[in-house]
Amino acid sequence: MELRQSDKLAHVAYDVRGPVLDEAMRLEAEGHRILRLNIGNPAPFGFDAPDEIVADMARSLATAQGYSDSKGILPARRAVVQYHQTKGVDGLDVDDVWLGNGVSELITMALQALLNNGDEVLIPAPDYPLWTAITTLCGGRAVHYLCDEQADWLPDLDDLESKITSRTKALVVINPNNPTGAVYPRPILERMVALAREHGLLLLADEIYDQILYDGIEHVALASLAPDVLCMTFNGLSKSYRVAGYRAGWAVMSGPTEHARSFLEGLTLLANMRLCPNVPAQHGIQAALGGPRDIKSLVLPGGRLHDQRDHAHRLLNDIPGVSCTLPKGALYVFPRLDPAVYPIADDEEFVVEFLRQEHVMIGHGTGFNWPTPDHLRIVTLPAVDDLSDALGRLAGFLGRYSSA
């Protein structure tokens, strides 16, 4: 009998690691060097973990061989509480914190505990595609509210409100946004909180890039504006502390919980079923959150992340028919290819052909649930010279494409 994948996967896509990656691996097996600008993985681009995180993990190894509490070790959870208190989120306790093997695991657990078949989750377009994929896998329906490129990729709140129905259970807010780099100002967030309050929605705040901010932009924690609305905030060490491979993330529940006891019981059940998060990685959390935040030197003028963002933005806007909004945060640019110049019907096919010809791997916009095939996502982690090389190859490829 043929073994086939589950029908639950029929409409699940995660194109950050999909067919484009498969083609890149095939080319690498043939001996080609591929510059991977498809995923926000700091380590391959020379961003090392802070010494104190590695040291604390190393010291803990001899005593980190057994299971921990299913929510995670107490010192790490206490550090998470203190971190969110500095961001204006009051009333937290260590029992409001779940540690996880990265934020992705915790997003999965939250949606598994929340959704029944047919329940709807409001997710931005474009989005980090895990949100859409896991909503679908859990039997829910991802409903995408549009973000407006002409308004620095801020959410279109009228579109958002128009998509709330009796089946809507939660509102996802990705801030700073992946893939656009938008950072939402306080008035926008206050209106999103007001909609959640009015319609009884759970707020799901993805804030993994909250320290990667440029040009003096302030990050406002969503939960700090919603003391009377149930809010689950996701964060971790992968990006700001450059330890993506350690898989150290957390989720914090804030706001009133009386009406959500069943949901929280389900979340606790799922936490118990996975036994516990990776214990050595948990020991890096307290060191990270209690230590110096050297990410600041990287995002200020003269810092690598700041200057690489500026360089990528400038080079992209110099290409005829390409426009790119300047990101205010995160590690990506999300440029638009003018359809009148580049009539792309299938953007995944486009980036695969670019990969084959130029050996540079980037993301296609529809893979981030943008509705039209006219955007690309490009990681800004490579050094300036590598960005110049990659975007020069893109400019040459586009020149040939437009004249074909």
Per the CB < 8 A criterion, the answer to whether 245 and 47 are in contact is no
Let me know the angle formed at the C-alpha of 302 by 301 and 304, rounded to the nearest 5 degrees: 105
Across 25-56, b (16+ Cβ under 10 Å) vs e yields eebeeeeeebbbbbbbbbeebebebbebbeeb
Question: What is the pLDDT tens value at each position of the chain, 404 positions in all?
Answer: 886 777 777 776 666 667 888 999 999 999 999 999 988 899 889 998 888 888 888 888 888 889 999 999 999 999 999 999 999 999 999 999 999 999 999 999 999 999 999 999 999 999 999 999 999 999 999 999 999 999 999 999 999 999 999 999 999 999 999 999 999 999 999 999 999 999 999 999 999 999 999 999 999 999 999 999 999 999 999 999 998 888 999 999 999 999 999 999 999 999 999 999 999 999 999 989 987 678 999 999 999 999 999 999 999 999 999 999 999 999 999 999 999 999 999 999 999 999 999 999 999 999 999 999 999 999 999 999 999 999 999 999 999 987 66
Q: Report how far Cα 230 is from the mean position of its chain's Cα atoms.
A: 21
Residue 16, pLDDT score? 65
Residue 20, pLDDT score? 86
User: Where is 122: in which H helix or E strand?
Assistant: strand 120-125
Cα atoms in the 13 Å half-sphere on the side-chain side of 191:
12
How far, CA to CA in Å, does 44 sit from each of 40, 53, 188?
Answer: 10, 18, 35
Cα(256)–Cα(262) distance, rounded to whole angstroms? 13
- Is there a cis peptide before residue 327, judged by omega within 30 degrees of 0? no
Cα(320)–Cα(250) distance, rounded to whole angstroms? 43
What is the side-by-side order of every strand in the sheet holding 376-379?
A: 332-333, 376-379, 363-364
Hey, what are 82's tokens? 């203190």
Cα(36)–Cα(301) distance, rounded to whole angstroms? 25
- The contacts of residue 180 (CB under 8 Å, 6+ apart) are 126, 147, 149, 153, 325, 327, 332, 334
Hey, what are 99's tokens? 């540690």
Per the CB < 8 A criterion, the answer to whether 264 and 232 are in contact is no
- Is there a cis peptide before residue 277, judged by omega within 30 degrees of 0? no
CA-nearest of 332, 346, 17, 392 to 25 is 17
Q: What is the DSSP string of 333-378?
A: E--EE-TTTS--S-HHHHHHHHHHHH-EE-EEGGGGT-SSS-BEEE
**Residue type for 30, please?**
E
Residue 15, pLDDT score? 63
Instruction: Look up tokens 């300047």; give the residue.
Output: 326
Cα torsion through 138, 143, 149, 154, rounded to 10: -80
**Is 0.85 topped by the overall pTM?**
yes
Cα(209)–Cα(305) distance, rounded to whole angstroms? 13
Q: How many residues can be counted in the chain? A: 404
Rg (CA), the chain: 21
Instruction: Look up tokens 């060097």; give the residue.
Output: 33
Residue 384, pLDDT score? 96
